[in-house]
Structure 1
């Protein structure tokens, strides 16, 4: 009863805070004096009427025709609140056109010169006001966490707030002050891990095991990310924000001259993985604790086995979490290689896309983070088994009824030899894939011209390197000369395989490091080769050849999966491979052909998710209940996403990549708004699977430990594991986003590149879409937990007569 009152009070506080913050947001206004002495007022206005015809000067404020809309706006904030102003909303036939309707709320800028009234000032329409809707969506998420999680839910929200404060108030300032971003990220992640586990789990053996497991996994992630950044020549400057080339702007800005961009990139990878590693460690430690409570006679080895079973199931879902989360976050990236750009043909073939720094960095982040998660699972299971499994049974005897349980038997030694054989086969397979990739090429020429014209991206090995020749820099404001070096390289694939070519490589100190490709003899690079079947006409340096290392890094992931997950780990790798093939060969082509992206993603992603569950865990109580839990959470969250799309006026065109696709592609079938929503739902599905499987797997292990438990006791135990996950799940989503956007946070805090108001920047489609992605994903996760726990506990009663129940 006491907890019920606390939950009620917390929910009322959330509602009050939402109302107060909403009033503050809606009352936003600012003034600043410009260099010419005029005043720029930024405030919020509501559209009260629209002239949809061409303006002919009917309004006293207009004396020239405008092809578009003449909008009458009533100011709703600031000292001129209630005043009416007029503005043009011209249509130019581009993707930037937007049709306003009565009732829309917009940020507007009014330029007032000395003596001007607000009605006569020049008015410029800005972004839609999106923050109030996102505020209430965040309030809905917090309310759900509290309602479902109770005190653990309240602690989860506090943990999330502390984590965010740590990043913004400690990590970002320390990086700006010149401290090593990598060391700072490790330190902050470790401190946040300790605080989160102690807050959610208290000072307990479960918390100690989770903390040590998380730190172990993060150490592995940090080490692999650092090594990868060096091997792949990652500069950390291939980053954009909406239509802004943020990396270039930061390189040019004197305020960020001394920033360690490469270190910031690796720090973001560590930060992004920390939440997911915490999630895995908490799942394993919490499951072991609940299993011990279910059967206090469970010993050390049985506790470890139960924890590893839950951990292996979670590993099994990483395939889809990776595929759905990363592809969903940037679905246009995988569309690029399959789209024709007029006369340019396939200007962005997959080989070129993968070897770009931004793409390679995202792949490294996904793989190194996943390896860290996998490593954390056995560490946590071993420590939790030692601490909890050796606890005297008398400490848990009053929790649930006890059944006798014998220690698990060791696996037949023949399985060890099978695993060894599989590891050898995996290593050989990785090397074969590398060899095939190394000698392959991709053409950007249309099929109709491929018989005569050659225009392809080919990997080449640098054989000789000429003495650099100093040449004048191309920058009019540069210092020092550029170095022009001629490389002799051997083509490793393509039409002219094994041919020796000469390629010019310019190293200019006045260009950003991202644009300089520094190589030595023996290095492999990506070249653009143009010509005809009769001979080569031009060879251009394109990029470092990064995909070879990425293949071997993926091989390490598969080997780690096999070593720790055994045959279930191998099945996970198989599910991952099948998912990638289906996405590239089926999902993407259907979207490119113009089929409804929302429908395609929901149907195919659902099929992939269910198929992966069957491959990894077979069909049983766990698979069935997890599937129903996933569907329940995803369907509800999908309705929220579709409704939010209507309220937030998304176009789907909020980055330079989507703008390029819109302007230059010959396809008119791409609905970018639908593609954006499809990507958000796809990412939601991937994360929901993880939590559903953990809860379903934990309920199975608890039931195996004590078959005498009632349905209510099983639900209680499953919810206990699920609510433990709430704190780490929210951290997973927030840390994953903040890790990717660490350099953006530093830009806001340490430079003046963004001059607009912070609320207006938050309302941009780019950031609003990311906030919606986080909130919708979080809501889906929270709803998945109780649905899965209930279905798992009731599985025997509901589905027993169908003969589908398995252990």
Structure 2
């Protein structure tokens, strides 16, 4: 029997590896929006001219003339001059220096000649790929076969979000229902990939699903009650002005709330389920109430740190906003009444509520399923 489960687990990994490869090569409708007349190259900055840059306090505006040598692609070895326009917005502007690597976008005419060169930003792809490679190696060294399964689930999740969730949202599919369906599938894939097709995985999946579903219901209710809207999300208005005025940003915000906490919910559900599995294996004669009590005790021990984890993760995302209000002497009651802060408070508390409920949900599911295994 153990060999059967191991073979079935291997087949599961192979199936999802194939699905990951299929998702990678499936084109989306939005791939056609990429400009065919533009070529993207890695370039090295060989000269800069800052004479047209004007500084007003800490803000810089004007044009920086940048000379770049292409390092790859069909124009490798050739030099082009481009303009780096500074808008006076520190979150978008960049300044190039000699020796910097840049992502250059070359616009071509019908004859294939370069008519415009845009040094879009500093080139970061190489270091990002290096980080991903180091993460993969570390995961495989310390995790072994389990690490390999976790890496497959990581890649599968990233591709599902990029190839299915984002195009679906842009096409106007209901954000809440679609995100809930995708989160359910991801919960099943991630948990069963890591835990295997067994009762431990089933208990963790049931607990995490109920936790995410609870967060979804709370997000729907309190988003309306707090009069929040999706325009508080970064680049939301830019999205509307890009030809997607039909999108319901409020529903997208609701979906983002329970999507953001789903990873922590799965983590907690797996912790409780794995501990209950060990308890049953160590004490096969334990009663149903004993299994339930063990699961609840584990949940209490873990949930405290997990809710703090969410608080730290979310507060790190808007810490400058809070600093700005504090620096201007805005009273605390005003601060937490602003729509931006209220949106983050809802994210934190609704996500934490899902974490608190996932422990008893998982414990109840474990008491039923593990007791069935014992009998």
Q: TM-score, normalised by structure 1?
A: 0.38
Distance 1:301 1:90, change over 3 A: closer
Looking at structure 2, the residues matched to 41 and 151 of structure 1 have their Cα atoms a distance apart, in angstroms, of 40
Please tell me whether residue 107 in structure 1 is matched to residue 103 in structure 2.
yes
Over residues 294-316 of structure 1, what are the superposed CA-to-partner deviations in whole Å (9 max), with x where a residue is unaligned?
44444433433332222112111
Distance 1:219 1:91, change over 3 A: closer
Which residue in the other structure is 1:158 paired with? 152
Over residues 537-582 of structure 1, what are the superposed CA-to-partner deviations in whole Å (9 max), with x where a residue is unaligned?
xxxxxxxxxxxxxxxxxxxxxxxxxxxxxxxxxxxxxxxxxxxxxx
Which residue in the other structure is 1:320 paired with? 308
Over residues 414-434 of structure 1, what are the superposed CA-to-partner deviations in whole Å (9 max), with x where a residue is unaligned?
xxxxxxxxxxxxxxxxxxxxx
Which residue in the other structure is 1:266 paired with? 254
- Say whether the 8 Å CA contact 2:175–2:252 is kept in structure 1: yes
Over residues 760-779 of structure 1, what are the superposed CA-to-partner deviations in whole Å (9 max), with x where a residue is unaligned?
xxxxxxxxxxxxxxxxxxxx
| Secondary structure in structure 1 of the residue aligned to 2:80 | strand
Looking at structure 1, the residues matched to 143 and 254 of structure 2 have their Cα atoms a distance apart, in angstroms, of 34
Looking at structure 1, the residues matched to 165 and 116 of structure 2 have their Cα atoms a distance apart, in angstroms, of 41
Shift of 1:372: 1.1
Which residue in the other structure is 2:222 paired with? 228
Which residue in the other structure is 1:249 paired with? 238
| Secondary structure in structure 1 of the residue aligned to 2:273 | helix
Shift of 1:371: 0.8
Shift of 1:45: 0.9
Distance 1:296 1:180, change over 3 A: same
- Identify which of 321, 337, 355 aligns with 1:373: 355
Which residue in the other structure is 1:688 paired with? none
- Say whether the 8 Å CA contact 2:81–2:117 is kept in structure 1: yes
> Structure 1 unaligned runs (5+)?
7-29, 34-39, 56-66, 241-245, 341-345, 394-807
Distance 1:82 1:372, change over 3 A: same
Distance 1:295 1:89, change over 3 A: same
Looking at structure 2, the residues matched to 330 and 128 of structure 1 have their Cα atoms a distance apart, in angstroms, of 25
| RMSD of aligned residue pairs (Cα, Å) | 3.4
Shift of 1:225: 0.6
Looking at structure 1, the residues matched to 111 and 173 of structure 2 have their Cα atoms a distance apart, in angstroms, of 50
Looking at structure 1, the residues matched to 170 and 224 of structure 2 have their Cα atoms a distance apart, in angstroms, of 22
The range that moved more, 166-175 or 319-328, is 166-175
| Secondary structure in structure 1 of the residue aligned to 2:102 | strand
Shift of 1:319: 4.5
| Secondary structure in structure 2 of the residue aligned to 1:355 | coil
Distance 1:93 1:284, change over 3 A: closer
Over residues 13-44 of structure 1, what are the superposed CA-to-partner deviations in whole Å (9 max), with x where a residue is unaligned?
xxxxxxxxxxxxxxxxx9755xxxxxx55422
Please tell me whether residue 76 in structure 1 is matched to residue 58 in structure 2.
no
| Secondary structure in structure 2 of the residue aligned to 1:219 | helix
Alignment of 1:175-186 (within 5 A): 175-186=169-180
Which residue in the other structure is 1:191 paired with? 185
Alignment of 1:46-65 (within 5 A): 46-48=44-46, 50=47
- Say whether the 8 Å CA contact 2:307–2:352 is kept in structure 1: no
Looking at structure 1, the residues matched to 167 and 89 of structure 2 have their Cα atoms a distance apart, in angstroms, of 40
| Secondary structure in structure 1 of the residue aligned to 2:231 | coil
Looking at structure 1, the residues matched to 88 and 189 of structure 2 have their Cα atoms a distance apart, in angstroms, of 53
Over residues 142-165 of structure 1, what are the superposed CA-to-partner deviations in whole Å (9 max), with x where a residue is unaligned?
222222122221111222223233
Shift of 1:228: 0.6
Distance 1:298 1:140, change over 3 A: farther
Alignment of 1:349-364 (within 5 A): 350-364=332-346
Over residues 392-432 of structure 1, what are the superposed CA-to-partner deviations in whole Å (9 max), with x where a residue is unaligned?
49xxxxxxxxxxxxxxxxxxxxxxxxxxxxxxxxxxxxxxx
Which residue in the other structure is 2:43 paired with? 45
Shift of 1:331: 1.8
- Say whether the 8 Å CA contact 1:87–1:124 is kept in structure 2: yes
Distance 1:83 1:166, change over 3 A: closer
- Say whether the 8 Å CA contact 2:149–2:193 is kept in structure 1: yes
Which residue in the other structure is 1:131 paired with? 125
Shift of 1:188: 2.0
- Say whether the 8 Å CA contact 1:300–1:390 is kept in structure 2: no
Which residue in the other structure is 2:29 paired with? none
Please tell me whether residue 98 in structure 1 is matched to residue 80 in structure 2.
no
Which residue in the other structure is 1:564 paired with? none
The range that moved more, 130-139 or 85-94, is 85-94
| Secondary structure in structure 2 of the residue aligned to 1:79 | coil
| Secondary structure in structure 2 of the residue aligned to 1:256 | coil
Shift of 1:68: 9.9
Shift of 1:94: 8.3
Looking at structure 2, the residues matched to 114 and 250 of structure 1 have their Cα atoms a distance apart, in angstroms, of 30
Over residues 594-614 of structure 1, what are the superposed CA-to-partner deviations in whole Å (9 max), with x where a residue is unaligned?
xxxxxxxxxxxxxxxxxxxxx
Q: Which has the higher contact order (CA 8 A, sep 6+)?
A: 1
| Secondary structure in structure 2 of the residue aligned to 1:203 | coil
Distance 1:123 1:364, change over 3 A: same
Shift of 1:277: 1.2
Please tell me whether residue 301 in structure 1 is matched to residue 299 in structure 2.
no
| Secondary structure in structure 1 of the residue aligned to 2:232 | coil
Which residue in the other structure is 2:299 paired with? 311
Looking at structure 1, the residues matched to 65 and 224 of structure 2 have their Cα atoms a distance apart, in angstroms, of 55
- Say whether the 8 Å CA contact 1:336–1:349 is kept in structure 2: no
- Say whether the 8 Å CA contact 1:299–1:390 is kept in structure 2: no
Looking at structure 1, the residues matched to 196 and 88 of structure 2 have their Cα atoms a distance apart, in angstroms, of 59
Alignment of 1:405-554 (within 5 A): none
**Matched residue pairs, number?**
333
Looking at structure 1, the residues matched to 126 and 257 of structure 2 have their Cα atoms a distance apart, in angstroms, of 31
Distance 1:351 1:101, change over 3 A: farther
Distance 1:370 1:92, change over 3 A: closer
Distance 1:71 1:276, change over 3 A: same
Over residues 77-98 of structure 1, what are the superposed CA-to-partner deviations in whole Å (9 max), with x where a residue is unaligned?
2222111234567999985463
- Say whether the 8 Å CA contact 2:200–2:274 is kept in structure 1: yes
- Say whether the 8 Å CA contact 1:31–1:42 is kept in structure 2: no
Over residues 32-72 of structure 1, what are the superposed CA-to-partner deviations in whole Å (9 max), with x where a residue is unaligned?
55xxxxxx554221134x478969xxxxxxxxxxx998754
Looking at structure 1, the residues matched to 163 and 87 of structure 2 have their Cα atoms a distance apart, in angstroms, of 43
- Identify which of 351, 354, 368 aligns with 1:386: 368
Distance 1:91 1:272, change over 3 A: closer
